[in-house]
Amino acid sequence: MYILAIESSCDETSVSIIKDGLEEISTVILSQIDTHKDYGGVVPEIASRMHVENITIVIDEALKKANMEMKDIDAIAVTYGPGLIGSLLVGLMAAKTLAFIYNKPLIPVHHIAGHIYANNLVKRVEFPLIALVVSGGHTELIYMKEDYSFEKLGGTLDDAVGEAYDKVARVIGIPYPGGPMVDKLAHEGSDVYNLPLPLDDDSYNFSFSGLKSAVINLAHNEKQRGNEINSANMACSFQNRVVKILVKKTMKALNDYDVKNLIVAGGVAANKGLREALTKECEKNGVNLIIPKMKYCTDNAAMIGAAGYYAYKRGDIAGLDLNAKAVLPLK
């Protein structure tokens, strides 16, 4: 079964063709980062306008790359939430139009289900499993008994981890999106700043606003004293705390639940410090870890095609009245 998948929930216009949920035939990702960089973050109105300009080009390109035509496609999958409403609507309208004109089933996909199923493109995941979801909008530990069964064990009480990365980046003078650059700097610096380990308790919940505030306060205090903070050392100190608590709570979940896989999902899964720490800890404890390839950690349509296949198999087919949802629980 060939699924043409569309993702446009934030600032990437992406289209992919995926075979049977597991094999990538072609993917095109058009990022708007260079435009939004000038504003220090994603400007929703600009994002939706750029999706409008690019969506048909990206669809054509993905088909061309796959050497396929619309008649070869069996279904259309699309991210319908959560995300920026204007951005989501552009991808959704394109998907509905294709489904209507070519008479194909329309498969609605939750963005985070997509991030989770990106792992199937590495290797078919085995259930039950624990998923650590770490993105710009989510930080959650999820137990999956089987395909498309999501039981939330815990999540962030305030900022998402990617959000904290982007805010800390701004404080230490790194342009949007700061995550990848903070990660790079962290490997060049030393852990010299005395930052707290956030929400170090027995729950599966996370909290990153206290850690973020500690970075901001330290930077301000140093400035008032006429000192500069060392960006690399701050990046290293911050990243060490984040990775430590993410790994600690994930290992606790793996201890409490008998699972076959640990999978990681979302943009922050691209973080080298986190990848290294989880790999090491999982080797030590005999846990089968799967992490998506770097290019499938941040937003892309391949993951939507991968999730879409299993959504279709359980009967998730939408009518043309499907609407985009800025806020959408995972179920």
Kindly list the residues in this chain that would bind ligand KG4 in the complex (CB under 6 A).
10, 135-137, 162, 165-166, 177-180, 183, 266-268, 270-271, 298-299
Residue 31: strand, helix, or coil? strand
Question: Are β-strands 75-81 and 2-7 bridged in parallel, bridged antiparallel, or unpaired?
Answer: parallel
Q: Which residue is nearest to ligand KG4 (CB)?
A: 267
Under rule CB under 5 A, residue 119 binds Zn ion: no
* Nearer Cβ to Zn ion (16/135): 135
Query: Rounded to whole angstroms, how far apart are CA atoms 28 and 35?
Result: 18
* N-terminal to C-terminal alpha carbon distance within the chain: 24
Least distance from ligand KG4 to the Cβ atom of residue 266, Å: 4
Burial (Cβ within 10 Å: 0-12, 13-18, ≥19) of residue 2 = middle
Under rule CB under 5 A, residue 135 binds Zn ion: yes
* Nearer Cβ to Zn ion (214/270): 270
* Nearer Cβ to ligand KG4 (9/26): 9
For the chain, what is the largest distance between any 2 Cα atoms, rounded to a whole number of angstroms?
Answer: 67
Least distance from ligand KG4 to the Cβ atom of residue 308, Å: 17
Strand positions, DSSP E, 67-211: 75-81, 106-110, 129-134, 139-144, 151-155
* Nearer Cβ to Zn ion (177/189): 177
Residue 225 CA: distances (Å) to CA of 220, 229, 238: 9, 11, 21
The interface partner of residue 237, options being ligand KG4, Zn ion, none and the CB cut-off 5 to 8 Å by kind, is none
The interface partner of residue 177, options being ligand KG4, Zn ion, none and the CB cut-off 5 to 8 Å by kind, is ligand KG4
User: Between 231-256 and 179-186, two packed helices, what is the crossing angle to 10 degrees?
Assistant: 100
* Nearer Cβ to ligand KG4 (49/272): 272
Give the x-and-dash track for 291-310 against Zn ion (CB under 5 A).
--------x-----------
Under rule CB under 5 A, residue 12 binds Zn ion: no
Assigned token pair, 290: 């799967």
Least distance from ligand KG4 to the Cβ atom of residue 116, Å: 11
Q: What are phi and psi of 128, to 5 degrees?
A: -70, 160
Interacting residue ranges for Zn ion, rule: CB under 5 A = 135, 299
